[in-house]
């Protein structure tokens, strides 16, 4: 297994280079002039700024040299300056990363836990009403556009029922806790401010539900299929024969085996979550990378768009790598070979 991990790790730099190359290509097609992807329209008349940008990104050099400069800049963490915030894109992204992570992790937890539960119920009551209902519910989740379900749920639960607060990460009257992790919930707890913690949790609930619902379907579909497969195995009968009750058989024996293949799709659901997070953040005014990307796209802020794309691709690659390794660890037959 060590060899497998080493091989996967070795392929990582190549894929990262590939991502960067594609980004370079896209930026070169930008409206026919790569310069316009570095310097905002308003600064185009400013000769000094144009010259500085050209020098920094090597635009006065040949194409291969430009490529080297581009890769070199990215390697040092230079993703350019955002047109809108006038800050380095890498700094913008770092500031907004915790918000996105907090949302994505909460959504992932909700989506996979409910997805697993639905999958188990559907497999246990195969072809009965509970099965059909669980599958329809999960499928509806992955078929609903989050930018609509977010709006409707916000209207129902915030405006009409008042159960949850409106968009945003915190009540406007509250001030965020000292940024240690950047996760408002954890920072509030660390600061010992329970009122702040509950406010952050309340704001997190609805966007996490909306986003988590989109991956619930993928998770439950796979859990159901692998549960059905596992429940037919001899060791399930053997477990019953030694006196294991229904719940123990389902959770201890069947689910434990069924979860191993489920791990492989966590990387896949991550792609869904990123897509969903971009749109969910836009709806819920969530100051993360997703809403940053939407604002960048709406304002044609090229350095910011390219920055998000590169970082998103790299993050996706890493998640896939980690799930593959986790999969190898979860199955003792692979781990010990």
Partner 1 sequence: MTAPLLEVGNLTISFGALEVVRDVNLSLADGKTLGLVGESGCGKSVTMLAIMGLLPDHVRVSGSIKLRGEELLGRPQGELTALRGKRMAMIFQDPMTSLNPVMTVGEQLGEAIAIHNRGMTRGDRQERALALLRLVAIPLPDRRLLQYPHELSGGMRQRVMIAIAMANDPELLIADEPTTALDVTVQAQIMELLQRLQAERKMGLMLISHDLGVVGDIADEVAIMYAGRICERGPVDAVFDSPHHPYTHGLLASLPQIDRTIDKLVAIPGSLPSLSARPAGCRFHPRCVHAQDICRRAEPELRTVASGAIAACHFAETAVVSERATVRA
Partner 2 sequence: MADVAAPSSIRTRRLPAWLKLPVLVGIAIIVFWIVASLSIDLWPIYDPIDMVGRRLQPPSADHWFGTDALGRDVLSRTLHGARFSLMMSCAVIICAVLIGSAIGAIAGYVGGIVDGALMRLVDITLSFPPILLAMAVTAAMGPGLQNAALAMIIVWWPVYARLMRGQVLSIRSREHVEAATAAGASHARTLIKHILPLSWSPILINATMDFGQVVLLTASLSFIGLGASPPTPEWGSMISEGAIHFYQWWICSGPGVAILSVVLGFNFLGDGLRDLLDPRSK
- Distance in Å, CB of 318 to partner 2, minimum: 10
Q: Write each residue from 239 to 278 as x if it is in contact with partner 1 (CB under 8 A), else as -, in one continuous string.
A: xxxxxxxx-x---xx--xx--x------------------
- Distance in Å, CB of 7 to partner 2, minimum: 14
Of 233, 251, 285, 298, the one binding partner 1 by CB under 8 A: 233
Residue 148 is a binding residue for partner 1 (CB under 8 A): no
- Distance in Å, CB of 228 to partner 1, minimum: 14
Contact 125, 246 (CB under 8 A): no
Question: Can you read off the two tokens belonging to residue 115?
Answer: 């997805």
10 versus 241: smaller Cβ distance to partner 1: 241
User: In whole angstroms, what is the distance from residue 201 CA to residue 223 CA?
Assistant: 28
Rounded to the nearest angstrom, the gap between the alpha carbon of residue 65 and the centroid of all alpha carbons in its chain is 34
Residue 213 is a binding residue for partner 2 (CB under 8 A): no
Residue 282 is a binding residue for partner 2 (CB under 8 A): yes
Contact 69, 57 (CB under 8 A): yes
Question: Can you read off the two tokens belonging to residue 329?
Answer: 């660890």
Enumerate the β-bridge partners of residue 88: 81
156 versus 195: smaller Cβ distance to partner 2: 156
CA angle (199 as vertex; 196, 200 as ends), nearest 5: 85
Number of Cβ atoms within 10 Å of the Cβ of 299: 14
Question: Can you read off the two tokens belonging to residue 303?
Answer: 């350095």
Residue 130 is a binding residue for partner 1 (CB under 8 A): no
87 versus 233: smaller Cβ distance to partner 1: 233
Question: Can you read off the two tokens belonging to residue 120?
Answer: 């188990």
What backbone torsions phi and psi does residue 165 show, to the nearest 5 degrees?
-70, 170
120 versus 282: smaller Cβ distance to partner 2: 282
**Nearest one of 190, 188, 155 to 174, comparing CA atoms:** 188
- Distance in Å, CB of 248 to partner 1, minimum: 7
- Distance in Å, CB of 252 to partner 1, minimum: 7
Tell me the window of 20-28, 53-61, 189-197, 237-245 that interacts with partner 1 (CB under 8 A): 237-245
User: In whole angstroms, what is the distance from residue 320 CA to residue 60 CA?
Assistant: 38
What backbone torsions phi and psi does residue 88 show, to the nearest 5 degrees?
-60, 135
Residue 89 is a binding residue for partner 2 (CB under 8 A): no
Contact 313, 196 (CB under 8 A): no
Task: Please give the residue ranges that form the binding site for partner 2 (CB under 8 A).
Answer: 14-15, 18-19, 21-23, 26-27, 29-31, 37, 139-140, 143-145, 147-149, 151-152, 154-155, 159, 234, 237, 270-271, 274-275, 278-279, 282-283, 293-294, 296-298, 300, 302, 305-306, 308-309, 312-313, 316-317, 320
């Amino acid at each position: 297994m060590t060899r497998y991990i080493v091989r996967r790790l070795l392929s990582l730099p190549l894929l990262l280079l590939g991502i960067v190359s594609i980004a370079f290509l896209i930026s070169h097609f930008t409206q026919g002039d790569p310069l316009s992807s570095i310097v905002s329209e308003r600064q185009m008349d400013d000769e000094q700024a144009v010259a500085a940008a050209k020098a920094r990104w090597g635009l006065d050099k040949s194409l291969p040299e430009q490529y080297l400069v581009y890769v070199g800049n990215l390697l040092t963490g230079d993703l350019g300056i955002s047109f809108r915030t006038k800050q380095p894109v890498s700094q913008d992204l770092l500031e907004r990363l915790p918000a996105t992570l907090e949302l994505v992790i909460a959504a992932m937890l909700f989506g996979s836990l409910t997805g697993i539960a639905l999958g188990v119920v559907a497999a246990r009551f195969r072809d009965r009403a509970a099965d059909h209902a669980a599958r329809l519910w999960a499928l509806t989740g992955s078929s609903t556009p989050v930018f609509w379900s977010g709006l409707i749920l916000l209207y129902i639960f915030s405006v009409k029922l008042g159960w949850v607060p409106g968009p945003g990460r915190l009540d406007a009257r509250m001030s965020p806790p000292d940024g240690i992790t950047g996760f408002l919930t954890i920072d509030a707890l660390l600061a010992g401010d329970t009122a702040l913690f509950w406010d952050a949790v309340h704001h997190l609930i609805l966007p996490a539900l909306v986003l988590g619902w989109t991956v619930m379907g993928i998770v439950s579909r796979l859990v159901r299929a692998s549960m059905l497969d596992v429940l037919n195995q001899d060791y399930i009968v053997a477990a019953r024969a030694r006196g294991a009750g229904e719940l123990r058989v389902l959770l201890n024996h069947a689910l434990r085996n069924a979860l191993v293949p489920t791990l492989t799709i966590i990387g896949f659901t991550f792609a869904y979550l990123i897509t969903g997070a971009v749109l969910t953040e836009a709806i819920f005014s969530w100051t993360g990378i997703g809403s940053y990307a939407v604002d960048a796209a709406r304002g044609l802020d090229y350095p910011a768009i390219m920055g998000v794309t590169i970082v998103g691709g790299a993050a996706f690659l890493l998640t896939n790598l980690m799930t593959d390794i986790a999969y190898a660890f979860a199955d003792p037959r692979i781990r010990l070979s």
